[in-house]
Structures are given as structure tokens and as C-alpha cells.
A and B are shown apart, each in its own frame.
Chain A
Amino acid sequence: MSVTLNLFGQLRHIADADEVSIDVATDSTLLSTLKALAGNYDDSFSTMLFDESGAVRPTMMVLINETTIDKANPPSIQDGDQITLLSAIAGG
């Protein structure tokens, strides 16, 4: 199945893309989907997205279909989902 990832902040800067579509297995979780995404880029992307334990960083806002989700208990991923990653920004 296919999911679309909308990237914001520094993640977009590293990926050099606003939006990325990837194919993932039908039983994919949020974490496995994000790991698959990170596999397309260099380590700085993974470092930005995941903490030392491999979990999504607590400062990363994750939306699925424009709704905030609980990263500790994410819903299952469906074909056609739009996952938005908002990295923390503080520029002025």
C-alpha cells in the first residue's frame, strides 16, 4: 500500500522534498513506516526523527490525515494515509 509523508521544518530541508510517497507492507506500523522513510536519506534525517532508543522524538509532532496522534499508541496505517511530520521550529 502507499502512504504519503508531508515533511516540515528541518526534515524537509534534509530530504529536499515537501512530500514523499512510499510503498509499505499492509501490516505496517507508524514506526516501521517512518523507518522505511528514513532509509531513503542520510543519518541526519534519522537523528532528527528518532531518539537514541529508536522511538520518534518527543518534540516531533506527528499527524495522520491532519489529526494529532498519540505517538505512544499510534493508530494502524492504512492505504492512502497522509502522515505529517512537523519538526520543532523556533525561528524568528
Chain B
Amino acid sequence: MIPLNDEEKATYEWQMWARGFGETGQEKLKNSSALVSRLGGLGGPVAQELAAAGIGKLILAHGGNLKHSDLNRQILMKYDGLGTPRIDQAVEHLLAINPRLEIVAIGENISEDNVDALVEQADIVFDCAPLFEERFAMNRACVEQRKPLIDAAMFSLEGQVTTIIPGETACLQCIYPEVPTSWQREFPVFGAVSATAACIAVMEGIKLLSGMAEPSLKGKMLYYDLRGMAFHKVNTQRNPECPICKDC
């Protein structure tokens, strides 16, 4: 394990005061890697908070150029970047926060063609994709490679986060056995609702990577409603017949 240097000790001093984290937790975070897909309203703040907290390496996947309709929530992007690749703006933004960060960036979204190689490079995966096909690809790869998957999602003023540990908890396809026909690519969204799910997901990841605490959403789904400011947790249930994780 590579130890913290003096600059890192100074940078992370205040978070190392958190109970159970300390220099040991920070060092584990520095020596950890995470895949984040994609980098929109949800994945953007996930990557930003991981970068700021001092994770060692990020593997980032996000295709497409910046449009006006991205700017209400995609906080890694800049107005001046309209029409240019979002992945380049994301990398620039994250390195401006943490120049020590190692980044592997691909300007395409997760698919069955690229997912295995991307998951292989990561200790943990943050699923922030807007399509169930991408989510299912990450879920399958994580189950096969026994990697933890933090699945975060939102719609309108609501959000959901669950921590999936292959072999221990329900996987995403235990929860959703098929691609939901009702889900549409365009959805109502406030950036603050996405970022809420993102920050909750990041703390689950930091707990897992650093060992500072048991992830609270392991085998549970947190669902929240920011219209009524209500937060609930419910157990997720493994499906013994799940084609993805039944042998795991």
C-alpha cells in the first residue's frame, strides 16, 4: 500500500478526524479505484466527491457532447464547453480538484462490449447510468467479478440507492428481473435530487473501500422523496432463480 505523502496528510486532515476513518482509512482510499458510469447529474457528483475525498484512481465512461439541457445538473461541465465532449470536461474538472488523481477515461457509455474490461480495473463500481441495459451490464460484470456495485437512481424529486455485494445481497436483476418497459430515456430531474443520491452512494463506497464502517445499504434500498423530505429503507430480496447471481 502506498503511504500518504505530506500534501495528502494536509489535504485530508479534517476528514481523517472522522471516527473509524483516520490515516488508515485515507490510505486505503488512496490505494482504491472506482468505475463511475456515466458522469451526468448523478455520476458527476459521485466522481467529484470521490476525487475530493482522495480516491486514488477513477475509471470514467461517458459518451456524447455537452448540450444546454445537461447544464441544470451535470456539474462537471461548463457553459463554455457546449458542443464539446463531456468526458474531456469531466477529466479537466476532476484534475483541477485533485491533480494527484489517476484517471482512465473513455468517451463512450458502458455496453456489453466494454463493461468487463472496465470493471476489471476497479475495486468498486458506481452505477449512475440512465438506461437499464447499461445498469444490467454493470450488474452482470460485477457479479461475475465479485465486485461491489453501488446502484443509484433518481426520477423527479425522488431517488434510490442500494449497495450490492455479489453472493451476499440481491443483485440488480433480483430487484428488476427484466428491463422495465415503462422507463423512458428523458425524465424530470433537478440536479440537487441527483446529487443527493450521489452523495449517499459515495459515502457507501467510502465505507466499503476504507473499512471505516459497514455499508448501511448492503441488502437494503434507500428510497427518498425530496418533495416531502422523507427517507425510507427497505430490505432487498435475493431471487434464488436469478439468472445473474443464483450461482454466486
- Interface residue ranges, A against B (CB under 8 Å): 8-10, 12-13, 18, 47-48, 57-59, 61, 63, 66-68, 86-92
Determine which residue in A10, A12, A88 has the highest number of CB atoms from chain B within 10 A of its CB, and name it. A88
Asked whether B182 lies within 8 Å of A87 as measured between CB atoms, the reply is: yes
C-alpha spacing A90/B155, complex, angstroms: 7
Contact mask for chain B residues 211-246; partner A; CB cutoff 8 A; 1 contact, 0 none: 000000000010101011000101111000000000
What's the count of A-B pairs with C-beta under 8 Å?
Answer: 88
Asked whether A68 lies within 8 Å of B237 as measured between CB atoms, the reply is: yes
* B158 partner, pick from A8, A61, A68, beta carbons under 8 A: A8
* A91 partner, pick from B154, B175, B225, B232, beta carbons under 8 A: B154
- Shortest Cβ gap from A77 to chain B (Å): 19
Give 8 CB contacts A-B under 8 Å. A18-B228, A57-B180, A66-B234, A86-B160, A89-B153, A89-B154, A90-B130, A92-B153
C-alpha spacing A77/B225, complex, angstroms: 25
A13-B156, A91-B154, A92-B154 given; 5 more Cβ-contact pairs under 8 Å? A12-B158, A68-B234, A88-B132, A88-B180, A92-B129
- Interface residue ranges, B against A (CB under 8 Å): 38, 40-43, 128-132, 135, 152-156, 158, 160, 175-178, 180-183, 187-189, 194, 221, 223, 225, 227-228, 232, 234-237
C-alpha spacing A58/B187, complex, angstroms: 21
| Closest chain A residue, CB of each to CB of B156 | A13
Decide yes or no: A61 and B175 within 8 Å by CB, A68-B236, A88-B132, A88-B182 being known contacts: yes
Decide yes or no: A91 and B194 within 8 Å by CB, A8-B225, A9-B158, A59-B176 being known contacts: yes
| Closest chain A residue, CB of each to CB of B175 | A61
Residue numbers in A under 8 Å from B43 (CB-CB)? 92
| Closest chain B residue, CB of each to CB of A70 | B237
